[in-house]
Amino acid sequence: MKAPFKQGQDNKKVLTADETASGRLDTWLAAGLEGEFSRSRIKSLIEGGNLTVNGSVVDGAHRKIRPGDVVEIALPEPEDPEPQGENIPLDILYEDDDVIVINKPAGLVVHPGAGNWTGTLVNALIHHCGDSLSGIGGVKRPGIVHRLDKDTTGVMIVAKNDLAHRSLSAQFADHGQTTELARAYKAIVWGRPAQIRGTIDLPLGRSMSDRTKRAVKREGAVDADHAVTHFEVLERFHERPDATALASLVECHLETGRTHQIRVHMAHIGHPLIGDAQYGGGYRTKANLLTEEAKAVVNRFPRQALHAFMLQFEHPSTGEVMHFEAPLPADMAELAEVLKSV
């Protein structure tokens, strides 16, 4: 039977063995924590002296569990490396004492994390800005007030001091409802949406089948976040007599800013982004309908075809409305051109 547990103080977990508890402690813990910790992780916690049973430090994973035992796990604080400055080129659209606006390339992770402790935008910003970056975002995310996926390109703004960070964070949290904040993206999607213009108002949350993905949730679900995407079809590629199209260039405006929002919303209505293996892998066979040249371009396209082409905000010091746009990157421009020629 799975072990009940509660979150204790000071980053601790406390579990109490019920009347059915038996067997090895590490096996019982792995089952009781429902996969939160692996057997190897539990073993390392035991070896590090981070686990007690009835107040006594456990000296080995072989210890047996008995009904009524109280198990306490002290979770050590993570010791992630502090990011260092790296001389990574930045495409700077604007910079002053308060903000820096960049055109992020594909493949650049915004901030350090598991598997990407170096080579990120934060590393580049530390090198470029030195000590002027805002500290509100913490050591790992100095100056970061919003983010783009690793393989999404386009306009991003970074705060260079705490005043700017507070102002911009408030604007992004407001989603432009009472401020001039606006964000717009261009995406190349499979097919042609039935409407030239439309709104997708569907809540999003973590996928139950894959925790790295997001999914549309039912209204009112505990883990559902309100998400609204407005879209407009700008161009149709390989349009057919039956008013369908093989692909389309769409413009998306965000009313909210959820993780993977455009990618999940467009996939949900049957028009996933070209190149999006995570949400549109099942549509790759559509490339077989193209010419060999176009098929080759589509098949080698390495990422979701998504570009944050416009960002507008109120300057944190002057209040001036600032508007920035970045043209389609070369890979998306090539993709659009080859689809036009089909």
Task: Report, as residue numbers or ranges, the catalytic residues.
Answer: 149
Give the integer Cα–Cα distance in Å for 93 and 157: 10
Q: Among positive and negative, which fits the CA dihedral 270, 273, 274, 277?
A: negative
Q: How far is CA 123 from CA 119, 142, 151, 166, 312, in A?
A: 6, 10, 17, 22, 25
Reported residue count of the chain is 342
Q: Which residues pair with 237 in a beta bridge?
A: 247
Chain centre distance of CA 159: 20
- CA-closest candidate to residue 189, choices 256, 247, 241: 247
Helix (H) / strand (E) containing 247: strand 245-254
